[in-house]
Amino acid sequence: MPSYSIGQAAQLLAVSSETVRRWADGGRLGMERDGAGKRVIEGVALARFARERGAGLHAVPEDDVSTSVRNAFVGIVTAVRVDDVAAQVEVQSGPHRLVSLVTREAVEELALDVGVTVTARVKSTSVHIDVP
């Protein structure tokens, strides 16, 4: 079973090492000592913590839309690039940056502009996973 150092956990959770230490010291994140006496986090415990924490990072959409899309990210539009037909819209949702290619007409109809709160819904038939 893998275990992670404080620094590795911080990188995976997109926070500082000091934040991970505070969580451990406050009892929110369980840590153990390895054979060398260094503090480590078991992989299963880190995965559970990441899932619990992730559930609270993104606001839940407050709409009554019925959809089959399970992945909804409430965020703020940070950039809009429009040409004659298409547009690229960037959304920051917590630590995640999402980029969507839509039509110019959609940008105009939805009044998308920097600073607007939106819900990005993601449905994919192909997800690639890399292991370092």
pTM of the prediction? 0.56
The predicted structure's pLDDT at residue 84: 95
The string of pLDDT tens digits covering residues 7-54 is: 998 888 888 899 999 999 999 899 999 889 999 998 888 888 887 877
Q: Which residues contact 77 (CB under 8 A, 6 or more apart)?
A: 89, 90, 91, 112, 113, 114, 115, 116, 117, 118
* Assigned token pair, 54: 């992730």
Please say whether the beta carbons of 48 and 64 come within 8 A. no
Work out the angle between the directed axes of helices 43-57 and 6-13 (0-180°, nearest 10). Answer: 30
